[in-house]
């Protein structure tokens, strides 16, 4: 008993950390750095900003300059606001499934319902889990999430063309108080509005 009690607790596997995130974390906020790599792992785009999540289905990702973009969902609709183009695109949340990491993290369903989950072991300080979408409309062919001390640190998503989107999170807070208006969006006056939700 004494010997067992003195042993350090084993680090949670990536699978265990993923299950903990989706069962215990209802609201979430963090800063993010995002990089897009081509199939030869050359950087083609860099961006960053802040994100907020409230499950089920609510999220806001504010990209800082030079990208100047906001992606917002109130759980029913998704607004994509491109400040440079002065354009807002509106979609039903169900139509946008699989297109962004925001939707993955804010999902209301058991993630195992539409992803094949596999534990990828530990690399350095990160415990990795892989997600392979099992639905036809998935934008990403493969998703990898790295956890550090059971908290999400890195997400890597590979699309059908071999491009990888890597998102690194920092300053994360689990279950913060987040105002409901964070997840509402009113298009600014004068911008073009494209409603794809019918």
Over the stretch 39-73, which tens digit does the pLDDT of each residue have?
999 999 999 999 999 998 899 999 998 888 999 99
Least confident range from 50-54, 105-109, 116-120: namely 105-109
| Residue 95 pLDDT > 70 | no
- Check: CB of residue 194 under 8 Å from CB of residue 78: no
**Please, what is the average pLDDT of the chain?**
87
The Cα 10–Cα 182 span in angstroms is 37
pLDDT level of residue 101 (50, 70, 90 thresholds): confident
Q: Give the homologous superfamily in CATH for domain 11-195.
A: Lipoprotein localisation LolA/LolB/LppX (2.50.20.10)
Q: For position 112, what pLDDT does the model report?
A: 77
Q: For position 114, what pLDDT does the model report?
A: 79
Q: For position 106, what pLDDT does the model report?
A: 86
Least confident range from 23-32, 66-75, 88-97: namely 88-97
- Please write the tens of the pLDDT for every residue from 130-178: 998 887 767 788 899 999 999 999 999 998 888 999 999 999 999 999 9
Domain range summary for the chain, segments of one domain joined by +: 11-195
> Three-state secondary structure along the chain?
CHHHHHCCCCCCCHHHHHHHHHHHCCEEEEEEEEEEECCCCCEEEEEEEEEEEECCCEEEEEECCCCCEEEEEECCEEEEEECCCCEEEEEEHHHHCCCCHHHHHHCCCCHHHCEEEEEEEEECCEEEEEEEECCCCCCEEEEEEEEECCEEEEEEEEECCCCEEEEEEEEEEECCCCCHHHHCCCCCCCCEEEECCC
Six token digits for residue 45: 């785009």
Q: For position 96, what pLDDT does the model report?
A: 59
- Check: CB of residue 30 under 8 Å from CB of residue 170: yes
Whole-model pTM: value is: 0.86
């Amino acid at each position: 008993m004494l010997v067992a009690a003195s042993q350090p607790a084993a680090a949670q596997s990536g699978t265990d950390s993923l299950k903990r995130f989706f069962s215990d974390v209802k609201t979430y906020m963090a800063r993010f750095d995002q990089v897009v790599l081509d199939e030869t792992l050359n950087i083609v785009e860099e961006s960053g900003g802040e994100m907020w999540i409230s499950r089920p289905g609510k999220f806001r990702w504010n990209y800082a300059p030079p990208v100047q973009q906001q992606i917002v969902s109130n759980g029913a609709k998704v607004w994509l606001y491109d400040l440079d183009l002065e354009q807002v695109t509106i979609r039903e949340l169900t139509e946008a499934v699989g297109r962004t990491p925001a939707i993955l993290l804010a999902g209301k369903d058991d993630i195992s319902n539409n992803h094949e989950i596999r534990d990828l072991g530990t690399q350095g300080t990160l415990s990795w889990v892989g997600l392979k979408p099992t639905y036809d409309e998935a934008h990403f062919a493969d998703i990898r999430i790295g956890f550090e001390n059971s908290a999400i640190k890195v997400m890597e998503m590979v699309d059908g063309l071999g491009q990888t989107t890597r998102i690194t999170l920092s300053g994360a807070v689990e279950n913060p108080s987040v105002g409901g208006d964070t997840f509402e969006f009113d298009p600014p006056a004068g911008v073009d509005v494209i409603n794809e939700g019918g």
